[in-house]
Structure 1
Amino acid sequence: MPKIVRKGAIRPDASTIAEAVARPWDVTGLRVSFAALDPDELARPVTSFLIRREVDDDELPIHQHRKGQLVVAAEGSVMCRTLDGLRIVPSNGAVWIPGEIPHSVSMSDNGRAYCLFITTGVSPLPNACATFSINPMLREMIFHLANQPPLYPLEGPTSRLAQVILDELAQMKAEPLHFPVSSHPRIQRIAAQLLETPDDRRTLKEWAAAVAMSERSFARLVLKHTGMPFGRWRQQLHIVMAVQRLSMGATVQAISQELGYDSPSAFTAMFRKHMGQPPRRYLRDRTEVVGD
């Protein structure tokens, strides 16, 4: 298992801390996001700050926080890797990561995201990672909170705004944007190959032979460790990857080719079946919100 880093291990001097808590956080670069101050140490029920991704930024290494973390994609897409799989959300989507869950986060080039750190127990958010759709009102409140100092007064408008945000978070709509991966070596091996070559159209029988298993045993293994039949599991990866590519401006035709579909209509039919909308409408409904 990769080394897990507790964020906030960098301890700045007192003057740096004083400056950091006296103004809003607006951070360029994923790796310096927590260099000024550890969000776990902020004695507030919820704090919010903006992260801007530079083109050459790397994915943050696996780390964890004591507080829960909600990463809201403002522009582009956000990808979160955890020990149980991969989650990707487009603009106005969010990934929820409960406290003490090892994870890594990355954004698409020149993306923007808002990170909320939420004290455990102050909001009825799930105990497991999840993806959500953020409504326009909640989105604007999160953006506004990010423009306030992280140590805002415990009494006053900002404190009341934070409480309303917590109330609204409890009403968020879950989105099925999770590609499950277990710790089983064969499942991890196949998942890695599918991520590397998502247009691989080998059949269940061919994949079973590739991992030296019978077709029936392989089918049972995938269902046991992912909760899905193999074909549905592969489609789930395609949905997650398609949402990311749509957020980056790719056409449906290009995505269908990248994922190995015979035609854009075949890909669109698969996407509509599982997401309830064709790809472009799905993305449009989640990005047509009040401007920043």
Structure 2
Amino acid sequence: MISKMGQPSSKPPCSTAIDLSHLQGPAMAIRMDFADYEAEGHQHQHRQGQLVLALHGAVTCRAESGVWIVPPNSGVWIPGGVLHSNKVTSNARLTYLFVEPGAAMLPAECCTLAVSPMLREMILQVAELSKNAGRDAHVDRLVRVMLDELALMPRERLELPVSDHPKIALIAATLLADPKDRRTLGQWAEHVAVSERTLKRLMVQETGLSFGRWRRQLHLVIALRELAGGATVQRVAGDLGYESTTAFIVMFKKALGTTPSRYFAVRLLSTEHA
């Protein structure tokens, strides 16, 4: 289900620990520590919808026309039947919540959802009770309340829109691999052999964002992943090509309303016991 960044190992794939044929009722939760399982990076899909909840570390999900980042205290929602692949930071601890189609009023497209401390605890409790005692009336009541709460969670704008248009896809792949590349829109237009005006129009048409806003969102997505994985603010700022750490912090605060240290301090404080 998830691919870990790094070299292959002899650990078993995490899919061996998940058998959705035994799903009872409208939802099932499973905790996963990726110290115990090997990565799987191929695209796959489930009949059920899936919430990937990050307890520690971060998840990067590729699905449909976007890339979603899931830092601690957030979850990426993937509707049933949607092809997707995931990567996690090496320190990741996750909980999967699988939801039967129609069991709750959840988004019809992939998105990142904020997860309240109360909802997180309910998901963890469902995972624990299902593992230890199977399904009973108590678990079923908890699942119903949990799904009602999940449907109320606000979306977080932590996605990077991408496109299968060959010219936009080439730019996206290059910048995802080397985010410190600072070529201008005009230089990219020359690189992909179109006029600057045409590329400007294509970028908005295919992603909904101007090139400048799209690249800032790419930097934010990468920064969240790397910071959640344990990288320092100074290192991330350098890897993204910022002239100074202060310039990076200004970008981050403008996007998320707070500094990187405060952003993760709040999230890690609420999940440190998970």
Partner of 1:32: 14
Task: Calculate percent identity across the aligned residue pairs.
Answer: 44
Give me the whole-angstrom Cα distance separating, in 2, the residues matched to 1:30 and 1:85. Answer: 29
Q: Summarize the alignment of residues 78-93 of structure 1 with structure 2, pairs less than 5 Å apart.
A: 78-93=59-74
Q: Does the 8 Å contact 1:53/1:108 carry over to 2?
A: no
Instruction: Please give the secondary structure, in 1, of the residue aligned with 2:13.
Output: helix
Partner of 1:250: 231
Q: Deviations over 1:261-290 (max 9, x none)?
A: 111111111111121112221222222216
Deviation at 1:54, TM superposition (A): 3.2
Deviation at 1:210, TM superposition (A): 0.5
Residue in structure 1 matching 2:197, options 201, 216, 232: 216
AA of the residue aligned to 2:50: Q
Partner of 2:7: none
Q: Does the 8 Å contact 1:80/1:86 carry over to 2?
A: yes
Instruction: Please give the secondary structure, in 2, of the residue aligned with 1:115.
Output: strand
Partner of 1:11: none
Give me the whole-angstrom Cα distance separating, in 2, the residues matched to 1:210 and 1:113. Answer: 40
Give me the whole-angstrom Cα distance separating, in 1, the residues matched to 2:166 and 2:121. Answer: 43
Deviation at 1:83, TM superposition (A): 3.1
2:124 corresponds to 1:143: yes
Q: Summarize the alignment of residues 259-278 of structure 1 with structure 2, pairs less than 5 Å apart.
A: 259-278=240-259
Residues 164 and 55 from structure 1, CA distance in 2 versus in 1: closer, same or farther, beyond 3 angstroms? closer
Residues 94 and 52 from structure 1, CA distance in 2 versus in 1: closer, same or farther, beyond 3 angstroms? same
Query: Which shows bigger deviation, 254-263 or 53-62?
Result: 53-62
Give me the whole-angstrom Cα distance separating, in 1, the residues matched to 2:79 and 2:22. Answer: 16
Query: Which shows bigger deviation, 67-76 or 82-91?
Result: 82-91
Q: Summarize the alignment of residues 32-71 of structure 1 with structure 2, pairs less than 5 Å apart.
A: 32-33=14-15, 35=16, 38-39=19-20, 42-54=23-35, 57-71=38-52
Q: Does the 8 Å contact 1:130/1:174 carry over to 2?
A: yes
Deviation at 1:85, TM superposition (A): 1.9
Give me the whole-angstrom Cα distance separating, in 1, the residues matched to 2:39 and 2:100. Answer: 27
Structure 1 runs of 4+ with >4 Å offset: none
Q: Does the 8 Å contact 1:49/1:146 carry over to 2?
A: yes
Partner of 1:171: 152
AA of the residue aligned to 2:123: I
Q: Summarize the alignment of residues 78-227 of structure 1 with structure 2, pairs less than 5 Å apart.
A: 78-149=59-130, 152-153=134-135, 155-227=136-208
Instruction: Please give the secondary structure, in 2, of the residue aligned with 1:212.
Output: coil
Q: TM-score, normalised by structure 2?
A: 0.90
Structure 1: which 5+ residue stretches go unaligned? Answer: 6-28
Q: Deviations over 1:106-165 (max 9, x none)?
A: 211131100000011111110000001211111111111111236943x52111111111
Q: Deviations over 1:199-229 (max 9, x none)?
A: 0011111011110011110000011000000
Deviation at 1:232, TM superposition (A): 0.5
Give me the whole-angstrom Cα distance separating, in 2, the residues matched to 1:30 and 1:76. Answer: 20
Deviation at 1:41, TM superposition (A): 5.4
Instruction: Please give the secondary structure, in 2, of the residue aligned with 1:51.
Output: strand
Instruction: Please give the secondary structure, in 2, of the residue aligned with 1:94.
Output: strand
Instruction: Please give the secondary structure, in 2, of the residue aligned with 1:63.
Output: coil
Instruction: Please give the secondary structure, in 1, of the residue aligned with 2:130.
Output: coil
Aligned pair count? 263
